[in-house]
Amino acid sequence: MPAKDWHGSDSWARGLRIGGYSDWRLPTISELKGIFDSGTNTQETGGPVKYSPVFSSRGTDLYWSSEGPSFDKRTKVGMSYGGTYESTKSDCLGGARAVRSGGGSPGASGDGPKSDGRFTDNGDGTVTDSRTGLMWSKNDTWNLTKKCADWNYSNSWAQGLRLGGYSDWRLPTISELKGIFDSGTNTQETGGPVKYSPVFSSRGTDLYWSSEGPSFDKRTKVGMSFGGTYESTKSDCLGGARAVRSSRGAGNFQGGGGGASDGRFTDLGNGAVKDSRTGLMWTKKDTWNVFGKCADWHASNDWAEGLNIGGYTDWRLPTENELKGIFKSGVNTQATGGNVNYTRIFEKGGTDLYWTDGGGTLSQAKQVGMSFGSTYDSSKTECIGGARAVRGP
């Protein structure tokens, strides 16, 4: 094949249909070294190369492997002297020879086994981890779309999934993603082997968004090739997502019907949630749940004071301390960010930033963040976050 960079070589190998097989790939470093010194052949771009003369002659003497020291580099193996060379993926020197396992039958596509002892393919697009009890989507976003996904798209995709009869899918935490790293060896579309179970669909991505991050506009990704973590802005379109849910709970516990309780908060079944610790009554939905967009302080205050829920009309915006009182009461999933630290009895898919009843100046009010518990002074006309109303006690 003509000289190609790593991406061109990888695409060429994966696109091969030879001998009735379609699971061709780039070889590992050790596989390439395994054919070195197996004979003497003649290359197109130099002198003799030390691999079997059974291979076609006049090829190249430098082959890309599927492995490398970092996300943007891969290792080449020279067939003249057996050396290894680290190169950026865009380096167009040498080329590739494809390989596949000798097992299988013609038409094999590289789909994984039904179980590897820990992970089991449930046959409905889901995979269960017997060690943690978590249920994962078999496909990631790259499997489905063949393109990268930013955090907002990934989060919306996960929350909108309906797989295996469940609708409480979400983006995983950093520790959950690290929990599947090094559980096996699979093959990715955009790089070399990735270290997660072959029960998952092959040809996915090697970089997954988590639900967590250091700030409102950043989230952490976990790499499946090297296990590293990377902080990225939510708009960064690199990698994608694999969704997860707990398989030990009800499929729709978040935002469940009346009577649902976590021991402290109880869904009253009329749009209100009662906090047994403080006696306060909260709206099950926030403004983002209701309107699907941000709300400034004036709109939030008008909304709260105009509510008639559960037969009560004395709803209001909460104080700073009341909002901080629900922070860290559980873990829910929000529409505009990652996991938020408030009870799962509240409707999922809300916002993570709530207006207080004031606490600032005539033109400003305080907001409390539900991801990190921080307080912010904001202009009352600023449309960011929204509100959850309260009444009582």
Query: Where do the domains of the chain lie?
Result: 6-88, 119-246, 265-391
Q: Which residue has the higher pLDDT, 79 or 256?
A: 79
Quickly state the pLDDT bin for 113 (edges 50, 70, 90): low
Task: Please identify which residue in the block is written with the tokens 């994966």.
Answer: 14
pLDDT at 137 over 70: yes
Highest averaged pLDDT of the listed ranges 190-194, 294-298, 336-340: 294-298
> What's residue 249's pLDDT?
42
Residue 74 in 3-state DSSP? strand
> What's residue 78's pLDDT?
92
> What's residue 41's pLDDT?
82
pTM of the model: 0.49
Average pLDDT (117-129) is: 90
Contact partners, residue 129, CB within 8 Å, separation at least 6: 118, 119, 135, 136, 179, 180
Helix (H) or strand (E) holding 379: strand 375-379
Distance CA 175, CA 184 (A): 17
Is the Cα dihedral 26, 109, 150, 284 positive or negative? Answer: negative
Distance CA 312, CA 391 (A): 9
Q: Which residue has the higher pLDDT, 305 or 155?
A: 305
